[in-house]
C-alpha cells in the first residue's frame, strides 16, 4: 500500500504516454453531432467553423510537456493533462445581458464571471453595467512555453478569484495559474497544472486543485493516469506541498469511491471543487473539523473530506447525483451542489441533509427555460436566502428564491458565428459582497455606487447611476 502524506514537490513529474491512451483520448475529445451527422444545438463547432470563430469554448445555440520519446507521445501527454476542458451541451437563449432584475428580492453586490470566449474576467453590477475587465493570454503569461496553444485550457480562464486592490488570480484549465494587478499586468505565473478551483486562505496562501499525468502501478498497472492533487502555494505562487487525492482515498476506509467511476478511466477523479471547513459543523460530524477540506469528484460522482494532517479521506458519500460540481457545506449543515446528470437530460440544484442525504431543497428550472448543463456548472447560496446558479453551457447565470422564482438573470454577450449561433460557456458567476471595497476601480471605469440595503431605496439608486 502506498503511504499517504503531504509532500513537497519542486516540479512536475515528466512521464511517457503510450499511443494506446492517445487513441482513447481521441475518442473522449472528439466532437458531437446529430445521429445523421447534421449539426445539433449544443454541438461544438466543426473544424471549418472553429477556424472562423477563433480560440475559445463555444457551443451551438438556438437563435432566439516535459519529457517524451517522440513528438506524438509528447502531444498525447499534454492532452492527458488537459483532459476535461472540452464538452458541454446546452444552447443559449438568444438573449444578452441582464434580462430579469427584481430589485426588492435579488441580493445586493457585484458579479464576477469568466466565460469561454477568451482569457478574460468581467466585473458587472446587478444591472449588467461593466465595472472592470481583466485579460491576459496564455502566450503573454508564459512567453517561453512549449505547450500546445491549441489546447482548450490555454484559451480561456476556468476560474477567477478577486483579491484586494483589484488583483486577480486566474486559472488556465490544466495549464497554469497567474496573478494580475488591476490593470492586467502580470505579477507572477506558475505553469502548475491548476484546474477548476482554488481557495485563498486567511494567511494569503492558496489551496489549489492541480493534476499530473503519473504512473501509479498500484492503481493501474497498464497505463499512466491523471492524478489530482490538493496543492498548497504561497501568496507568490510557489508550491509549498502537495497531497495526492487518489492516495488520500486509497489509504482510507473509503477506497471503494475509486471503484465505481464514469468518464475517461485515465482521468481517475476529475475533482472540480474544494471547500476549506471552518469547524463550525464539527458537532454534526467530526470529519467536518476545522482545516479539513471538502472535495467534489465528478468522475466518481462522490463528495469526500480530506484531513490534510492525516493525508487521507475521513468522510465520503455518494447520492442520487451524477457528475456533480461545486459541492459545499452551508452554515445550516446541509450540503449544496450542482447536479449535472442525476436526471436524464436535466440538471438540478440539490440541498441535502449531510447525514441521511435526503433532499431539503431542489431547483429544476421551469417550463420556459431548459435547465441542463452536462458539463461545468456552479452554485452559490446568498445571504438573503436566494441561490445564484451558473447554467454554464447556456452561458447564463440566474438567481432564484427558495420557491424557485427567478429574481435576476444574466446571459453572456459573448456570441459568435454568422448568425450568433454559438454562445460561450460561462465557467462561473460569483456574487461578491457589497462590503468588499471597490475603491480601486479606475476613474475611467466610472466608479461604483453600492446599492442601498433598504430595497425601497433601490429605484432611486438606479436613477443616480445613470450617466
How do residues 93-120 score in pLDDT, each as one tens digit? Answer: 567 899 999 999 999 999 999 999 999 9
pTM listed for this prediction: 0.81
Residue predicted with more confidence, 341 or 369:
341
194-200: strand order across its sheet: 194-200, 206-214, 225-233, 239-244
Among 356, 346, 347, 355, which Cα is nearest to 326's?
347
Asked whether 241 and 6 are in contact (CB, 8 A), the reply is yes
The terminus-to-terminus CA distance of the chain in angstroms comes to 66
Residue 62 has pLDDT above 70, yes or no: no
List pLDDT tens digits, range 15-61.
323 333 333 333 333 333 333 444 444 555 555 655 555 566 555 44
Distance CA 451, CA 460 (A): 10
Residue 211: exposed, middle, or buried by beta-carbon count in 10 A (0-12, 13-18, 19+)?
A: buried
pLDDT of residue 421: 76
Asked whether 193 and 184 are in contact (CB, 8 A), the reply is no
Distance CA 295, CA 308 (A): 12
Pairing state between β 186-190 and 194-200: unpaired
Q: In the predicted model, what is the mean pLDDT of residues 255-273?
A: 92
Residue 217 has pLDDT above 60, yes or no: yes
Mean pLDDT of the chain: 82
Q: In the predicted model, what is the mean pLDDT of residues 307-318?
A: 96
Asked whether 232 and 207 are in contact (CB, 8 A), the reply is yes
Pairing state between β 302-307 and 312-318: antiparallel
Model confidence at 219, pLDDT cuts 50, 70, 90, reads: confident
pLDDT of residue 175: 96
Residue predicted with more confidence, 70 or 130:
130
% of the chain with per-residue pLDDT over 90: 64
Per CATH, is 19-465 categorized as 2.120.10.30? yes
Residue 94: exposed, middle, or buried by beta-carbon count in 10 A (0-12, 13-18, 19+)?
A: middle
pLDDT of residue 445: 54
Q: How far is CA 347 from the centre of its chain?
A: 16
Weakest-pLDDT range from 10-19, 39-48, 265-274: 10-19
pLDDT of residue 382: 97
- At residue 464's C-alpha, the angle toward residues 463 and 467, to 5°, is 90
Weakest-pLDDT range from 21-30, 172-181, 293-302, 322-331: 21-30
Report the 10 Å Cβ neighbour count for 418. 8
The cell 468522510 sits on which residue?
Answer: 315
Asked whether 230 and 245 are in contact (CB, 8 A), the reply is yes
pLDDT of residue 405: 95
Residue 192 has pLDDT above 60, yes or no: yes
List pLDDT tens digits, range 133-170.
999 999 999 999 999 999 989 999 999 999 999 999 99
pLDDT of residue 221: 63
Amino acid at each position: 500500500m502506498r503511504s499517504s502524506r503531504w509532500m513537497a514537490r519542486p516540479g512536475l513529474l515528466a512521464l511517457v504516454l503510450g499511443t494506446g491512451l492517445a487513441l482513447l483520448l481521441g475518442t473522449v475529445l472528439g466532437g458531437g453531432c446529430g445521429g445523421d451527422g447534421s449539426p445539433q444545438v449544443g454541438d461544438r463547432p466543426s473544424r471549418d467553423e472553429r477556424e472562423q470563430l477563433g480560440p475559445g469554448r463555444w457551443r451551438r445555440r438556438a437563435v432566439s510537456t516535459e519529457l517524451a520519446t517522440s513528438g506524438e507521445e509528447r502531444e498525447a501527454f499534454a492532452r492527458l493533462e488537459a483532459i476535461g476542458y472540452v464538452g458541454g451541451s446546452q444552447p443559449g437563449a438568444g438573449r444578452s445581458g441582464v434580462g430579469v432584475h427584481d430589485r426588492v428580492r435579488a441580493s445586493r453586490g457585484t458579479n464576477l464571471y469568466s466565460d469561454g470566449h477568451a482569457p478574460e474576467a468581467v466585473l458587472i453590477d446587478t444591472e449588467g453595467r461593466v465595472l472592470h475587465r481583466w485579460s491576459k493570454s496564455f502566450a503573454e503569461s508564459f512567453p517561453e512555453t512549449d505547450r500546445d496553444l491549441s489546447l482548450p485550457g490555454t484559451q480561456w480562464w476556468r476560474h477567477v478569484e478577486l483579491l484586494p486592490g483589484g488583483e486577480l488570480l486566474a486559472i488556465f484549465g490544466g495549464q497554469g495559474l497567474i496573478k494580475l494587478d488591476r490593470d492586467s499586468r502580470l505579477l507572477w505565473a506558475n505553469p502548475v497544472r491548476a484546474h477548476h478551483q482554488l481557495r485563498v486562505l486567511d494567511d494569503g496562501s492558496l489551496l489549489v486543485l492541480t493534476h499530473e499525468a503519473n504512473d501509479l502501478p498500484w492503481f493501474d498497472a497498464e497505463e499512466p493516469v491523471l492524478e489530482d492533487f490538493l496543492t498548497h502555494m504561497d501568496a507568490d505562487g510557489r508550491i509549498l506541498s502537495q497531497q495526492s487525492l487518489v492516495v488520500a482515498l486509497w489509504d482510507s476506509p473509503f477506497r471503494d469511491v475509486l471503484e465505481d467511476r464514469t468518464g475517461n478511466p485515465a482521468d481517475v477523479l476529475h475533482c472540480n471543487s474544494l471547500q476549506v471547513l471552518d469547524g463550525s459543523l464539527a458537532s454534526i460530524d467530526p470529519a467536518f473539523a476545522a482545516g479539513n477540506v471538502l472535495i467534489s469528484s465528478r468522475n466518481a460522482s462522490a463528495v469526500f473530506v480530506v484531513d490534510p494532517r492525516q493525508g487521507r479521506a475521513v468522510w465520503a458519500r455518494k447520492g442520487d447525483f451524477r457528475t456533480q460540481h461545486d459541492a459545499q457545506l452551508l452554515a445550516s449543515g446541509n450540503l449544496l451542489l450542482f447536479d449535472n446528470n442525476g436526471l436524464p437530460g436535466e440538471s438540478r440544484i440539490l440541498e441535502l441533509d449531510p447525514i441521511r442525504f435526503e433532499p431539503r431543497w431542489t431547483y429544476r428550472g421551469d417550463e420556459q427555460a431548459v435547465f441542463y448543463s452536462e458539463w461545468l456548472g456552479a452554485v452559490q447560496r446568498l445571504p438573503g436566502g436566494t441561490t445564484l446558479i451558473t447554467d454554464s453551457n447556456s452561458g447564463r447565470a440566474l438567481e432564484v428564491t427558495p420557491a424557485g422564482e427567478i429574481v435576476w438573470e444574466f446571459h453572456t454577450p459573448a456570441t459568435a458565428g454568422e448568425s450568433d449561433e454559438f454562445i460561450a460557456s460561462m465557467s462561473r458567476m460569483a456574487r461578491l459582497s457589497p462590503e468588499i471595497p471597490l475603491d480601486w476601480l479606475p476613474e475611467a471605469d466610472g466608479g461604483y455606487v453600492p446599492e442601498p440595503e433598504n430595497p425601497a431605496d433601490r429605484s432611486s439608486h438606479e436613477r443616480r447611476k445613470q450617466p
